[in-house]
Amino acid sequence: MLKLAQKDILRADQFSREEIDLIMETARGFEHELDGEKALETMRGKILSTLFFEPSTRTRLSFEAAMLRLGGEVISVAEAKSSSAAKGESLYDTIKTVEGYADVIVLRHPRIGAAAEAAAATNKPVLNAGDGAGQHPTQSLLDFYTIEKEQGKVEGLTVTLAGDLKHGRTVHSLADLLASYNVHFVFASPRALRMPTEIVEKLKARGVSVAETENLAEAVAASDVLYMTRIQGERFDDPSEYDRLKNAYILTRAMLARAKEGMTVMHPLPRVNEIATEVDSYPGAAYFRQAANGIPVRMALLALVTERA
């Protein structure tokens, strides 16, 4: 149980398969205990600090709910303007201050690499809750948990990542995490929003099977798992380019007529227009179950990283 003790969670490619197994097994155990409505004491006396310098609903609230479910306490900065960052305080000084208040820190920040900077500033475990267009490793772990739960396995699946693959940190992390497994990737995006070349090249160098397409309908027909993502308006320099691309892919019920039986539809959320609400009643539409899986997976992460080394 000591594999992740006092470790930072910064990138999805930091995990061995053994560590992923440990997180999944621990999360399944917590989910079972929650089903039994058992009050847990695992984190009694410990404090989580959530520092969110970009908006969030799921990640912040599920980390905080996970800590409360474990019997711990939470102190939170929910937006940059309510912290001393608004007065010009550096991230380093913020982290050096918060390490005196909390046992574990969850950080979301608009700058790629900010979580690594925070981790370098403190010996307390830092969990990256999204660093700009970089990584979102705890999301990819709950995505992995969801795929296993919905499909009964990960190995051998065709997984399509669709939408804004250029800016989407969830898809960057999920690609990294699944690269250790025998999956076939289809990357479906408008040309301007392709998966960054360095990620595609890194996957291919590891022998991972990758196909790229602009045709969402074709990708849907080939998939076991279809992972839709939002076009990330906040990451575009040119608003007219966002307007051109924002409705490029919209998954409709009609498109699912060509899907394999049992295909799982996922989305990290929030969605804007990319999945029509008529898809919500499709049995494989797993995105709200996926969001709920954030609780046991983040409980597992909090419990594991706060173990004594």
CA–CA separation, 228 vs 183, rounded Å? 17
59 in active site: yes
Among 3, 28, 46, 58, binds ligand CP (CB under 6 A): 58
58 in active site: yes
CA–CA separation, 184 vs 24, rounded Å? 22
- Give the shortest CB-232-to-ligand CP separation in angstroms: 11
Binding-residue total with ligand CP (CB under 6 A): 9
Determine the Cα angle at 252 with ends 249 and 256, to 5°. 110
Stretch that binds ligand CP, among 56-64, 68-76, 87-95, 209-217 (CB under 6 A): 56-64
Q: Is 189 in the site for ligand CP (CB under 6 A)?
A: no
Structure tokens given for 223: 């998939």
**Four-residue CA torsion sign, 169, 226, 298, 277:** positive
Give one word for 6, left, alpha or beta, with left for phi > 0 and alpha for psi -120 to 50. Answer: left
138 in active site: no
Residue 209 φ then ψ, to 5°: -80, 120
Nearer to ligand CP, 72 or 137 (CB): 137
Select which of 3, 58, 111, 194 is catalytic: 58
Nearer to ligand CP, 165 or 259 (CB): 165
Query: Cβ of 45: how many Cβ atoms within 10 Å?
Result: 9
- Give the shortest CB-143-to-ligand CP separation in angstroms: 9
Select which of 7, 11, 109, 136 is catalytic: 136
Q: Is 139 in the site for ligand CP (CB under 6 A)?
A: yes
Select which of 17, 81, 87, 191 is catalytic: 87
Q: Which residues between 97 and 136 bind ligand CP (CB under 6 A)? A: 130
Among 56, 140, 160, 264, binds ligand CP (CB under 6 A): 56
96 in active site: no
Nearer to ligand CP, 175 or 259 (CB): 175
26 in active site: no
Q: What is residue 184's DSSP assignment?
A: E
Among 34, 269, 276, 292, binds ligand CP (CB under 6 A): 269
Nearer to ligand CP, 137 or 222 (CB): 137
Nearer to ligand CP, 284 or 294 (CB): 294
Q: Is 57 in the site for ligand CP (CB under 6 A)?
A: yes
Helices marked H in the chain — which ranges? 17-35, 58-69, 91-98, 114-121, 137-151, 169-178, 197-205, 216-222, 239-245, 287-292, 294-305
Q: What are the residues whose beta carbons fall under 8 Å from the beta carbon of 242, sequence distance 6 or more? A: 231, 233, 236
Q: Is 229 in the site for ligand CP (CB under 6 A)?
A: no
CA–CA separation, 12 vs 175, rounded Å? 9
Nearer to ligand CP, 22 or 171 (CB): 171
Long-range contacts of the stretch 21-24 (C-beta < 8 A, 24+): 22/304, 23/141, 23/297, 23/300, 23/301, 23/304, 24/144, 24/145, 24/148, 24/300
Q: Is 138 in the site for ligand CP (CB under 6 A)?
A: no
Stretch that binds ligand CP, among 52-60, 202-210, 234-242, 277-285 (CB under 6 A): 52-60
Select which of 11, 26, 50, 59 is catalytic: 59
Binding-site ranges for ligand CP (CB under 6 A): 56-59, 130, 139, 268-270
